[in-house]
């Protein structure tokens, strides 16, 4: 049987990077192509181990570059596309929304056209629970796949737009697709602009932790490796055209998350500094994953085991995140906060 070719867009980033490693190791008989523009969020140093393997390939390209993407698809004739590449940070979408439309909307449409042209077996679009908007604090309410899309930030609006295009290419052209909508991920290689790695790296450096508003906003946390297993399952077993929510019932307030990290590292809660709230800050996200569970998925990490593993990973891999926080990111952080 011919080897399958799997394109992973955004495979130099956090989740796509974990997914590339997961797929290269799990499927030696698949060729895994990591396509990434290497923006501020992409780095290849994380792939030192898998770079030695024959079934790993890297292509530097912009998903919004129609000529480059069309030529690549014609040449490689991918069987599967798993689409992670995006501008992913809500705060950056508030200060500079335009690139979110270019990458997340136009980039997705270019990939859909290229996938349609060569007739891929499956296009998996990795989306987010943020497209559903926000929930109130009633703990019995959850996002289901039928919750209407009501995105509140430029980031989530761009993701919802791309979800709509993916759906439309299925309805209009019969492109085989799935859309996954996952809750907040955390784990190894999480870029330190996001709450959990930002807190770990700053606590380790005895720096203040900026907590937005009153810290009572709730996120539903999922370890990135449980997300990778979910995408793998949907890629192979997802019913054509369906949406699957991904989440493990791990709701925590931001303050609970920050305090857990501080106490695990044996530091003082005096490091917490309440700062001006994020504009349009969604109150609560919480996922009902029943539909995905029916396919056979269940998470392997609890929040307690996952956060302990993650903190240990940041302790063991200082070199990786120190190189990031000392670069261009430093300018971003200084513009973002005055701590």
Q: Which residues are catalytic?
A: 129-130, 155
Please state the closest distance from residue 90 (CB atom) to ligand TDX, in A: 4
45-53, 84-92, 225-233, 301-309 -> range binding ligand TDX (CB under 6 A): 84-92
Residue nearer to ligand NAD on the CB measure, 49 or 269: 49
- Indicate the helix (H) or strand (E) that contains 132: none
Single out the residue of 116, 167, 194, 267 in contact with ligand TDX (rule: CB under 6 A).
Answer: 194
Residue nearer to ligand TDX on the CB measure, 212 or 329: 212
207-215, 236-244, 311-319, 325-333 -> range binding ligand TDX (CB under 6 A): 207-215
Please state the closest distance from residue 1 (CB atom) to ligand TDX, in A: 36
> 183 near 221, Cβ under 8 Å?
yes
By CB under 6 A, residue 248 contacts ligand NAD: no
Helix (H, G, I), strand (E, B) or coil at 84: coil
Tell me which residue of 188, 191, 187, 159 sits closest to 41, measured CA to CA: 191
CA 321 to chain centre: 18
By CB under 6 A, residue 211 contacts ligand TDX: yes
Tell me how many degrees the CA angle 64-67-71 measures, rounded to the nearest 5. Answer: 115
Report the distance separating Cα 339 and Cα 334, nearest Å. Answer: 8
By CB under 6 A, residue 210 contacts ligand TDX: yes
By CB under 6 A, residue 128 contacts ligand NAD: yes
User: CB-based burial of residue 181 (10 Å sphere; 0-12 exposed, 13-18 middle, 19+ buried)?
Assistant: buried
> 90 near 156, Cβ under 8 Å?
yes
By CB under 6 A, residue 66 contacts ligand TDX: no
Q: What residues numbered 146-165 form the site for ligand TDX, per CB under 6 A?
A: none
Radius of gyration of the chain (CA): 19
| Phi then psi dihedrals of residue 59, to 5 deg | -130, 125
104-112, 211-219, 301-309, 325-333 -> range binding ligand TDX (CB under 6 A): 211-219
Single out the residue of 32, 42, 243, 282 in contact with ligand NAD (rule: CB under 6 A).
Answer: 42
Single out the residue of 184, 245, 260, 310 in contact with ligand TDX (rule: CB under 6 A).
Answer: 184
Residue located via tokens 């399952």: 233
Q: What residues numbered 139-198 form the site for ligand NAD, per CB under 6 A?
A: 159, 182, 184-185, 191
> 83 near 113, Cβ under 8 Å?
no
How do 218-223 and 251-253 pair as beta strands? antiparallel
Contact residues toward ligand TDX (CB under 6 A) are 88-90, 128, 130, 184, 194-195, 198, 210-212, 217, 219, 254, 278
């Amino acid at each position: 049987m011919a080897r399958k070719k799997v394109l992973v867009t955004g495979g130099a980033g956090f989740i796509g990077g974990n997914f590339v490693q997961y797929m290269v190791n799990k499927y030696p008989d698949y060729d895994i192509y990591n396509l990434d523009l290497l923006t501020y969020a992409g780095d290849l140093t994380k792939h030192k181990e898998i770079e030695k393997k024959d079934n790993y390939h890297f292509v530097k390209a912009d998903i919004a570059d129609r000529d480059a993407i069309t030529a690549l698809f014609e040449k490689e004739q991918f069987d599967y596309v798993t689409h992670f590449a995006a501008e992913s940070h809500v705060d950056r979408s508030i200060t500079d929304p335009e690139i979110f439309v270019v990458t997340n909307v136009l980039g997705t449409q270019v990939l859909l056209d290229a996938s349609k042209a060569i007739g891929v077996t499956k296009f998996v679009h990795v989306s987010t629970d943020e497209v559903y908007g926000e929930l109130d604090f009633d703990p019995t309410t959850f996002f289901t796949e039928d919750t209407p899309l009501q995105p509140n930030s430029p980031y989530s609006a761009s993701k919802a737009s791309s979800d709509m295009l993916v759906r439309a290419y299925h309805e209009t052209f019969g492109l085989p697709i799935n859309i996954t909508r996952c809750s907040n991920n955390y784990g190894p290689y999480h870029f330190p602009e996001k709450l959990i790695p930002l807190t770990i790296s700053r606590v380790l450096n005895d720096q203040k932790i900026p907590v937005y508003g009153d810290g009572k906003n709730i996120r539903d946390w999922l370890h990135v490796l449980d997300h990778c297993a979910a995408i793998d399952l949907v890629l192979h077993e997802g019913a054509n055209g369906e949406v699957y929510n991904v989440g493990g019932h791990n709701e925590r307030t931001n303050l609970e998350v920050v305090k857990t990290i501080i106490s695990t590292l044996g530091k003082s809660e005096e490091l917490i500094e309440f700062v001006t709230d994020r504009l349009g800050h969604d109150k609560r996200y919480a996922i009902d994953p029943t539909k995905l569970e029916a396919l056979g998925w269940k998470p392997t990490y609890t929040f307690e085991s996952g956060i302990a593993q993650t903190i240990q990973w940041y302790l063991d891999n200082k070199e990786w995140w120190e190189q990031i926080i000392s670069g261009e990111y430093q300018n971003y952080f200084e513009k973002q906060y005055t701590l």
